[in-house]
Amino acid sequence: MRKLSTSLIILFAGLNATSVLADTSNTTEEGTSSRSESKKDIYDNENKHVDDPTRVVTKLGLAGDYNFESEKFGYSISGSIGLSDAQKINLRYHPDSEEWTLGGSWLFNFGIVNFNFGKSEYEDGSNFNNYSVGTFVPLSYFGIEPAGWQIFPMAGFNYTDGERPLNEGEPDFDPSNPYVLHPSDSTGGYLGYFSLKPVTEEFTVITFAGASVGSDDYFGYWLGAGMGYKFTKKDSINLLGIVTDNDYGAEQKIILAYSHTFSD
């Protein structure tokens, strides 16, 4: 069985790491303390880690990837446009596979809510449209940061429709022609987490995992890990390994991604 919400992979592939920016405008020790307390809120995008999924900024990213399943190289372009301290538009395009996604994010006191829709295709001809709504909750803003890890539980709902070959044992499966595409749709939900662990001012460890379930025996999972490196205040790179498996295809990828932030 194979299944996954592509919008989740898109987010992870577009992330790039840097350390938290320090506020240097203080004039007294007391002023520093009060400013730090006042800045400790979810709308303080300036002082968030660049890979914080609740960060609302304008940025542009370019990523190269190698797919071990197809043994092919690819690349993608991604970006976000910050409309305010709480709203942004997100987009990503993978030219060689014509895979794309478009969506928006809205930041609330409890976390961020993301709305996405997109289209994906696989080597065997499988293709699907995905519509999803989900959220990330930053536990560090509630005083939970074990051993310096910033953890973001995530949850959401999705609807998927498309075409795929049937699995052996499914009704209408034809062993003489197993690659015929059949219509398929599913409604489901997902649970998972994303986490960051700054090791030094420049390096950050990244991990994530999750699973999704739905109608018609819909099931899938994703997991990955990697390292981020900040080489300027606004420029950073990530090296990530990602494994996904879902009803429409399986992928194992290595991704090298660069990101430039335009807004502070």
At 256 the pLDDT is 98
Indicate the DSSP class of residue 159. Answer: E
8 Å CB contact between 220 and 4: yes
* pLDDT value of position 40: 58
Residue 165 belongs to domain spanning: 6-261
Structural domain count, the chain: 1
More confident residue, 125 or 74: 74
Per-residue model confidence as pLDDT tens digits over 200-231: 999 999 999 999 998 878 889 999 999 999 99
For residue range 83-132, what is the model confidence (pLDDT) as tens digits?
999 999 999 998 877 789 999 999 999 999 999 999 988 777 778 898 99
Decide if pLDDT at 167 tops 80. no
Rounded percentage of the chain residues whose pLDDT exceeds 90: 55
Q: Which residues pair with 161 in a beta bridge?
A: 129, 185
95 CB-contact burial (10 Å; exposed 0-12 / middle 13-18 / buried 19+): exposed
Confidence category of residue 248, pLDDT binned at 50, 70, 90: low
pLDDT band, residue 76 (cuts 50/70/90): very high
Positions of E strands within the chain: 59-67, 72-82, 87-94, 99-107, 112-121, 127-136, 150-165, 181-198, 203-214, 219-230, 235-246, 249-261
Mean pLDDT of the chain: 82
Residue 96 is assigned to a structural domain of this protein: yes
* Cβ pair 223, 31 in contact under 8 A: no
Distance CA 259, CA 264 (A): 14
Cβ 190 vs Cβ 5: under 8 Å = yes
CA–CA distances in Å: residue 37 to residues 53, 143, 236: 21, 13, 27
Query: For 73-86, what is the mean pLDDT?
Result: 94
Residues 47-56 pLDDT 10s: 898 899 999 9
pTM: 0.77
Residue 81 has pLDDT above 70, yes or no: yes
Q: What is the CATH number of the domain that holds 146?
A: 2.40.160.40
Contacts of 35 by beta carbon, 8 Å cutoff, 6+ apart:
23, 25, 26
Give the per-residue pLDDT at 19. 33
Question: For residues 104-126, b (16+ Cβ closer than 10 Å) or e, as one string?
Answer: bbebeeebbebbbbbbbbbeeeb
In a domain, 1, yes or no: no
Instruction: Establish if 88 belongs to a structural domain.
Output: yes
d(CA 168, CA 33): 63
**Over the stretch 173-194, which tens digit does the pLDDT of each residue have?**
777 676 777 787 889 999 999 9
